[in-house]
Chain A
């Protein structure tokens, strides 16, 4: 079943204004790859050249920061909800 990815405002110029995107993927890394296939340039916006997520981009899988899981290698359960959220708020 497809996962639901929530796109933050700062990235919606890439998704043609879409706030959520549905796609299939086995891991968080595949989410990034599939987003990039669907919306070219997506990966370059959120990842460093070494492929790691940028310092100020966080991925949440069903509410949990993937840094507490297995980062990009985190495997996804069925119908996962993934939120991409810039880490620039709070405190």
Chain B
């Protein structure tokens, strides 16, 4: 059974029925799913949630499906790890990592939003799905569409990392690379949604799709013992994830599932080569000035972020902040996380780690804050940015091994 009452404009509050739709026909702002929270509060308890299978559907009352999910059985409930080694390096004693780099089926947080959107496409009886993507969403939509038996039409910028292209085409999706950056791709995708009766997950299914990201917040709060953290650092591309994690915490609070009110300071992370939201936060405004992206963090390279206005607002109201880091700092961030915690993240994760370092230096995150880093993607997908030392090559002889490893001939 569904607790969804309909869709509501995030700006003017105008209400719409549950159907594939891109935005408010009055003011063009994004729409949001509206729920009957009183009814949910009557039925949803900690015990109920804890007893369920470990996937995003354990929070099904707060997700916008009408029926039982058909795809996405293994999505979500990724580890929340106590990161003592990285904490020591950063000067944080209560550091945790939400590790969505091992999400299923395609190793990024996008599997959460895709699972909701593709199930919703099936419920709406749509005959095809698609998206505009910087890579992770492309992988996720292609894989999930294959599992759902739907054709997928996927638009990506021409310059995407090879692993992200192969990780999309392998599922049999129709992949179209567009000359231009993500914002050009996105603009075209909006026009495609206008023309074809498909479910474009981040266009006309976007109100439903975005709800999947709330599960990151639910899982963190549940794993911390039914409390929201003091601080959370979230990478920002379109700015949706950061607002939905906050919404997740607030919904749990509203439903009486938390031990204490939400007082989380929300911190946004961007690359300096594409920092329109961070710039707005630093200027104390929610008005986004679009930029032309130029960064190795291609999964965050959205110069005209659709939810930038809302992301900047959530950050400011929470008492948080936003920072951005250079490409060399991103690479150092990737290496630091790998060497301290054994987690290989993609460029977006490098952004999150490096920004956290900056926030600690600026004393915006205090040493004993319960702090969560949101690691959203897997390093195997963006290997070409890294130039690690090649391995030493030897003949299969013990003496060669010894001299290769210890730098001198073995003593007799």
- B28-46 CB mask vs A (1 if < 8 Å, else 0) is 1110000000000000000
Q: Do A91 and B309 touch (CB < 8 A)? A: no
8 Å CB interface, A12-36 against B: none
Scoring A55, A63, A67, A83 by chain B CB atoms within 10 A of each residue's CB, the highest score goes to A55
Q: Do A58 and B306 touch (CB < 8 A)? A: no
Decide yes or no: A87 and B194 within 8 Å by CB, A10-B25, A54-B27, A63-B184 being known contacts: no
- B195-236 CB mask vs A (1 if < 8 Å, else 0) is 000001011001000000000000000000000000000000
How far is it, in angstroms, between the C-alpha of A88 and the C-alpha of B27 when the chains are bound?
11
Which A residues lie within 8 Å of B333 (CB)? none
In the complex, number of A-B residue pairs with CB atoms less than 8 Å apart: 92
Residue of A nearest to B187 (CB): A85
- A44-87 CB mask vs B (1 if < 8 Å, else 0) is 01100000001111101001010110000000000000010111
How far is it, in angstroms, between the C-alpha of A45 and the C-alpha of B302 when the chains are bound?
27
Q: Do B27 and A89 touch (CB < 8 A)? A: no
Residue of B nearest to A7 (CB): B194
How far is it, in angstroms, between the C-alpha of A40 and the C-alpha of B305 when the chains are bound?
31
Q: Is B183 an interface residue (CB 8 A)?
A: yes
Q: Do B23 and A88 touch (CB < 8 A)? A: yes
Q: Do B306 and A87 touch (CB < 8 A)? A: yes
Q: Do B307 and A10 touch (CB < 8 A)? A: no
Q: Is B238 an interface residue (CB 8 A)?
A: yes
Residue of A nearest to B286 (CB): A55
How far is it, in angstroms, between the C-alpha of A58 and the C-alpha of B23 when the chains are bound?
14
| Interface residues of A, count at CB 8 A | 24
Residue of B nearest to A86 (CB): B28
Decide yes or no: A91 and B237 within 8 Å by CB, A10-B25, A54-B27 being known contacts: yes
Scoring A45, A55, A57, A88 by chain B CB atoms within 10 A of each residue's CB, the highest score goes to A88
Which A residues lie within 8 Å of B238 (CB)? 90-91
User: Contacting B190 at CB < 8 Å: which of A55, A65, A67, A86?
Assistant: A86
Q: Is B289 an interface residue (CB 8 A)?
A: yes
How far is it, in angstroms, between the C-alpha of A65 and the C-alpha of B181 when the chains are bound?
13
Residue of A nearest to B30 (CB): A88
Using C-beta atoms within 8 Å of the partner chain, give the interface range for chain B: 35 or more
Q: Name A's interface SS.
A: mixed
Q: Do B304 and A8 touch (CB < 8 A)? A: no
Which A residues lie within 8 Å of B11 (CB)? 55-56
How far is it, in angstroms, between the C-alpha of A9 and the C-alpha of B22 when the chains are bound?
10
Q: Do B191 and A90 touch (CB < 8 A)? A: no
How far is it, in angstroms, between the C-alpha of A56 and the C-alpha of B310 when the chains are bound?
12
Decide yes or no: A88 and B239 within 8 Å by CB, A60-B187, A65-B290 being known contacts: no
Q: Do A90 and B189 touch (CB < 8 A)? A: yes
- B255-293 CB mask vs A (1 if < 8 Å, else 0) is 000000000000000000000000000000001011010
Which B residues lie within 8 Å of A67 (CB)? 289-290
How far is it, in angstroms, between the C-alpha of A86 and the C-alpha of B24 when the chains are bound?
10
Q: Is B240 an interface residue (CB 8 A)?
A: yes
Q: Do A68 and B290 touch (CB < 8 A)? A: yes
Residue of A nearest to B238 (CB): A91
Q: Do B203 and A87 touch (CB < 8 A)? A: no
8 Å CB interface, B292-313 against A: 292, 302, 304-307, 309
Chain A residues at the B interface, C-beta cutoff of 8 Å: 6, 8-10, 45-46, 54-58, 60, 63, 65, 67-68, 83, 85-91
- Which 9 A-B pairs have CB atoms at the shortest separation, nearest pair first? A91-B238, A88-B23, A90-B186, A56-B28, A89-B203, A86-B28, A88-B30, A89-B190, A9-B194
Chain B residues at the A interface, C-beta cutoff of 8 Å: 11, 22-30, 132, 180, 182-184, 186-187, 189-191, 193-194, 200, 202-203, 206, 237-240, 287, 289-290, 292, 302, 304-307, 309
The 30 sampled A-B contact pairs (Cβ below 8 Å) are A8-B194, A9-B194, A10-B28, A55-B29, A55-B309, A60-B187, A63-B184, A63-B187, A65-B183, A68-B292, A85-B187, A86-B22, A86-B28, A86-B190, A88-B23, A88-B28, A88-B30, A88-B190, A88-B203, A89-B186, A89-B190, A89-B202, A89-B206, A90-B189, A90-B190, A90-B202, A90-B304, A90-B305, A91-B237, A91-B306
